[in-house]
Structure formats: C-alpha cells, structure tokens
C-alpha cells in the first residue's frame, strides 16, 4: 500500500512540474505574440457578405419572367422581392408592339410610389429559355448573354427553373434545397432577401 502511495505521489509531483513548465512556456509565448485586439465579428460578417455579393457576379443570375397582364398586386410583390434578393425581373416586350401602352400600364401599376425594383425588357431571354408562362423563374449557375439574332440559338448554361404563382422566397428555397446547379447561388439570394425584408 505504501509503495502504491509513493508511486502516486511521484506521479502527482511529475504532473505538477509539467504543468508549471507548460504555464511558463505559454507565458513567454503570450508576451511575444502581438495583441490582435478583440475578435471583430461585424467585420467577419461584412467580409462574408462582400464575398457572397462578388460570387453573384456582374450579370444577374436570378431572373424572374413576368407579364404586365399578371394581377397588379402579384406583379408588384414579385418585382419588389426579386430586386431585394438581387435578381432582375424581365418582361417580353411591348404589348402589341405599343411602347406608349406599355409605358402607361407600367406607370399605372407603380403610380403609388411603391418600389419599382430592377425591371427590364428582354425578349431574347424569353426566347433563350423558352418561357411560355409568367411568372417563371430561372437561377443561372454561370454568366450568360443571350444571342441577339432572331434565328440564332443559345447554348444554355447550367440552370434551375420553376414556373407558377409562388413567392420569391419559396422559389429560392426550392432552388437552394434542390441541389441543382444554381443551389448555392439561390441560398445567397435567399439570405439577401431575408436580410433586407423589414
């Protein structure tokens, strides 16, 4: 019993000496390591947000295809939310080729000062993605510029698409959880939409 107690005491002294040596070594390291200050969580969040915006690229990757014939309330909500998410809403063109009629209809929809968002007219995109119904949504996995001619055909980049009268948040969540080519970007757009929503 005495031999066992002596062995335990010796082990305790060895552990104590090791602890003292480790503490001294750490103290020396701490004195020579420059103080970097407190952890900047806000800076880290900003850097992540900047990286996500850069990953979205210069050209829109999230595109909503709409029509002035949609119910006014739905169209306004669509344009607002797509813009907040960092995407763009496109219309096919002027109804019956009448730019005045288009301008008047557009002004009537947004005459209350509500957010007009990022809108454009691009029949090339409708043709490239063969869009027949509005609203339709496309999440493109890489940069894409549709060809300009009426007879040309585009080689489409990897993309996800969905059509139907569903909210922008549901569209992005479906793309993000679907694991398709645009899933990662859809997640970024969804976080942006949720972050800017009041």
Model confidence at 2: pLDDT above 70: no
Q: How high is the pLDDT of residue 119? A: 85
For residue 40, is pLDDT > 80?
A: no
* Strands ordered across the beta sheet of 119-121: 119-121, 88-91, 62-66, 136-140, 159-163
Average pLDDT rounded to a whole number, residues 88-99:
85
pLDDT class of 1 with cuts at 50, 70, 90: low
Give the helix/strand (H/E) hosting 23. Answer: helix 2-32
What's the pLDDT at 48? 45
Mean pLDDT of 141-168: 86
Over residues 37-42, mean pLDDT: 50
26 vs 120, which has greater pLDDT? 120
Average pLDDT over residues 124-139: 93
Q: What are phi and psi of 149, to 5 degrees?
A: -80, 160
* CA gap 55, 53 in Å, rounded: 5
The reported pLDDT for the residue numbered 52 is 44
Helix (H) or strand (E) holding 14: helix 2-32
| Cis peptide preceding 135, ω within 30 of 0 | yes
């Amino acid at each position: 019993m005495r031999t066992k107690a002596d062995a335990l005491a010796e082990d305790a002294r060895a552990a104590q000496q090791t602890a003292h040596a480790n503490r001294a070594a750490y103290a020396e390291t701490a004195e020579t390591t420059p103080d970097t200050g407190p952890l900047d969580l806000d800076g880290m969040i900003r850097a992540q947000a900047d990286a996500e915006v850069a990953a979205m690229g210069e050209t829109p990757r999230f595109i909503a295809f709409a029509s002035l014939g949609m119910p006014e309330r739905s169209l306004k909500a669509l344009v607002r939310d797509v813009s907040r998410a960092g995407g763009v809403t496109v219309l096919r063109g002027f109804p019956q080729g009448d730019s005045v009629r288009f301008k008047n209809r557009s002004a009537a929809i947004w005459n209350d000062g509500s957010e007009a968002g990022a809108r454009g007219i691009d029949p090339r995109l409708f043709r490239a993605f063969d869009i027949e119904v509005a609203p339709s949504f496309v999440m493109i996995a890489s940069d894409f510029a549709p060809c300009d001619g009426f007879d040309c055909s585009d080689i489409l980049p990897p993309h996800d698409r969905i059509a139907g009268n569903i909210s922008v948040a549901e569209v992005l969540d479906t793309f993000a959880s679907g694991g398709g080519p645009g899933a990662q970007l859809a997640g970024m757009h969804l976080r942006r939409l949720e972050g800017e929503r009041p």
